[in-house]
Amino acid sequence: MKIRTTTATAALAVLVLSVPALARAACPRVSDAAISVQIVDPGPRVTSSKSLDQINVMAGSHGLKRNGFKVLGMTGIKLETGVKVQFQGQPMGGAICVHVNRVEAQFGLKDHTVHVPREYAQGSCHYNVVMRHEMAHVDVNRRTVRKYADILKHEMRAALRRSGAVTAASMVEGQNAQTAVMQKVLDDIGVRFNAELEKLHGVIDQPGGKYAADGQCPGW
């Protein structure tokens, strides 16, 4: 997850040029940054365009299986993240105090696709068992996205509150320092999000579990 766009106050450059070379002073306290996180979740798309063999190639060792370790269905996601940041600078004693004024983030599922093999006719026992299993994965994905969007909002606010305004020799230097603070939050959220998803999906996929396929339909 990368911070893609930054902006600064329009009058900043003029203010910086007019600052006399005085001793560097500590930056004053600043108000908390305004943090918003937009959840990206268009809902799952169900497709039967691929064969059982194609789904097995896509899924590798993951997914709903029957005896013989044949993958019967698959749910795939692509994470959507984006962050737009507004910085603000204030000349202070020959330096500049830079803080984050606003953060507008996006976090969620850019793509959320459920693959049911085309060999399984809609409404059949096989189709229904696969759909029940994959919808459990869908529910986990959507709930976990919402959980971590909320975590992202609170942890970004807390990190920027601790950072406050940083003293820098230039606006760019200050922006880089604040960007490092935000990037650490984003990286940490990404690691924890993926780890929790893997654990939750593992419970759904476990042999003999609530969503197992063995014995559910003729031939399984």
In the predicted model, is pLDDT for residue 103 greater than 80? Answer: yes
Structure confidence at residue 65 as a pLDDT band (50, 70, 90):
low
Quick check: is 217 in a domain? no
Distance (Å, whole) CA 4 – CA 40: 17
Who has greater pLDDT, 133 or 8? 133
Average pLDDT, the chain: 86
Quick check: is 211 in a domain? no
The alpha carbon of 15 is separated from its chain's Cα centroid by a whole number of angstroms, namely 37
Quick check: is 216 in a domain? no
Quick check: is 31 in a domain? yes
- Taking each continuous run of H as one helix and of E as one strand, the counts in the chain are 4, 7
Lowest mean pLDDT among 58-72, 132-146, 164-178: 58-72
Q: Which of 199, 110, 107 is nearest to 155 (CA)?
A: 107
Domain count across the chain: 1
Distance (Å, whole) CA 21 – CA 80: 45
Quick check: is 219 in a domain? no
pLDDT digit string, tens, across residues 29-39: 999 999 999 99
CA contacts within 13 A on the Cβ side of 28: 8
Quick check: is 98 in a domain? yes
Residue 32 belongs to domain spanning: 3-205
Q: What burial letters (b/e) apply to 28-44, b meaning 16+ CB within 10 Å?
A: eebeebebebebbbeeb
Distance (Å, whole) CA 163 – CA 165: 6
Quick check: is 71 in a domain? yes
Distance (Å, whole) CA 64 – CA 207: 9
- Stated pTM of the model: 0.82
Quick check: is 218 in a domain? no
